[in-house]
Structure 1
Amino acid sequence: MKTSECDILIVPGWNNSGPDHWQTRWEKRLPTARRVAQRDWAHPDRDAWVSALGIAIGKAKRPVVLVAHSLGVATVIHAAPYVGRKVAAAFLVGLPDVDRLDVPEIQSFAGLSSDPLPFPSMLVASRDDPYCAFERADEYAAAWGSDFVDAGFAGHINGDTGYGPWPEGLTRFATLLKRAGAPAAP
């Protein structure tokens, strides 16, 4: 699958992705990409975020490829049972361990499913991500049937840790698109 054959939905995490974040740069670079807007980036609410993602997917004219970071990954996982047939693939980066982090703002996202995802996916994880142990990310990837990518010591894989343009990420994303194959009907 080529980027021109799908609607790419950028799914940022808590507090959105700033101007130096790789998601923002990809959104500007990939012509079929658009950001999933959330009503409140500072006070995330699972139901509201999942609903916003579902609405964005529902508006898509072509097969959807999700590009999620951090709490956006948890949003995708919670939405998967409801939107799976319109999603061609998901690129998941920097999963936060919402079930083990003691952060009140993300408590509503706890209870991540360990069921296989209904679409091809790739989970990219860092060995020193402060929000999720590498081994825990590996366990989720195996449960979801996701390709698992070891990003090395990359922190939370965001603008603050030097992942602005992130060309290696684009290469991994292209691999996922190839795996997704021919576009499915929306």
Structure 2
Amino acid sequence: MATPVVLQLPGWRNSGPDHWQSRWEARHGDVRVQQHDWEWPRRGDWMARLDDVVQAQQRPVVLVAHSLGCLLVAAWASVSRHTARVRGALLVAPGDVEAEDGPVPPLPGWRPIVRERLPFASILVGSQNDPYCTLARAQALARDWGSDWVDIGPRGHINAESGLGDWPEGRAWIEPWLHGAGAAGPA
């Protein structure tokens, strides 16, 4: 069985060099799905780009999404004919674009958040003090998407400022998908 390609799906404004996604890309050879516009993302454009990248892979894929990337996975999975190519998805710190008083400006086209159950295994990792999504909202998204839920405590937006470094604990959650097994679930 072929080892999957790990596709990194950063959120709004991309992930900088100290972000765990960038570190995984450098360390493990993951593939970042590059978007045309990181500053003013359009959901349809991002979905089309993800579909193109998934189709271009010669192997199955594991999706690793952060923030707006989590919402991208849900929206893409609701319409794509290529979801069977996904072994699993790690969804980290989803951004709540529906929050009226949140720190993200309104991003046209991203509301409402697609809340259909994902057609592949997934783990959603949330933080108790994420300024971009309350713990209750993240837990609700995990339920709606059928994702295993992981609360990693007060780690902010689970980004470079969270001090995770290479974040080996996060990487461990995708290892079963990389080696052909079903999701082991969070430990």
Provide TM-score, normalisation by structure 1. Answer: 0.88
**What's the C-alpha RMSD, in Å, of the aligned pairs?**
1.8
Conserved 8 A contact 2:71-2:114: no
Structure 1 equivalent of residue 65 of structure 2:
68
Structure 2 equivalent of residue 184 of structure 1:
none
- Residues 80-108 of structure 1 show CA distances to partners (whole Å, capped at 9, x for unaligned) of 12132221111100101112245435242
1:172: Cα distance to partner? 2.3
| In 2: Cα distance, 1:136 partner to 1:175 partner | 27
1:149 counterpart letter in structure 2: V
1:66 counterpart letter in structure 2: L
Any unmatched runs of 5+ in structure 2?
none
Match for residue 179 of structure 1 among 174, 178, 182: 182
Conserved 8 A contact 2:74-2:145: no
Percent sequence identity over aligned pairs: 46
Correspondence 1:52-63 to 2 at 5 A? 52-63=49-60
2:90 counterpart letter in structure 1: F
- Residues 115-166 of structure 1 show CA distances to partners (whole Å, capped at 9, x for unaligned) of 2100000000001000111011111111211010011000000002212311
- SS of 1:92's partner is strand
Structure 2 equivalent of residue 28 of structure 1:
26
| In 1: Cα distance, 2:88 partner to 2:171 partner | 14
Structure 1 equivalent of residue 96 of structure 2:
97
Which stretch of the first structure deviates more once superposed, 161-170 or 171-180? 171-180
**Higher relative helix content:** 1
* Structure 2 CA distance for partners of 1:21 and 1:101, relative to 1, 3 Å: farther
Structure 1 equivalent of residue 17 of structure 2:
19
2:61 counterpart letter in structure 1: V
Name the structure, 1 or 2, with higher relative contact order (CA <8 Å, separation 6+): 1
- SS of 2:109's partner is helix
| In 1: Cα distance, 2:132 partner to 2:52 partner | 28
- Number of residue equivalences: 178
1:43: Cα distance to partner? 1.1
| In 2: Cα distance, 1:40 partner to 1:146 partner | 28
Correspondence 1:25-174 to 2 at 5 A? 25-31=23-29, 33-81=30-78, 82=80, 83-101=82-100, 103-174=104-175
